[in-house]
Amino acid sequence: METEAVATLIRNGMPGARVEVTGDGSHFEAVVVSDRFVGKPPIQRQRLVMTTVRPQIESGELHALSIKTFTPEQWAEERQG
């Protein structure tokens, strides 16, 4: 699976989210920024993202996905470093 394919799956499942995916074809890392994360604990954020790729994980097409989630405000703070 390619990084852009993973990013597209997440974007399709979470319209309006900013998604960046890196990886080597079997292990991926996604950074997802969305208003939908506001007020949600980390586990709920992870579940929202994982739901978008569940069929690919269950089929074995996608082997490993590490996820970092941010609200737009958190992302702005992260980028300012």
Domains of the chain, each with CATH number or no CATH: 3-80 (3.30.300.90)
pLDDT at 26 over 80: no
Structure confidence by residue, pLDDT tens digits, 36-66? 999 999 999 999 999 999 999 999 999 899 9
Q: What does pTM read for this prediction?
A: 0.93
Q: Which residues of 14-48 are buried (b: 16+ CB within 10 A; e: fewer)?
A: beebebebebeeeebbbbbbbebbeeeeeeebbeb
Q: What is the mean pLDDT of residues 9-32?
A: 95
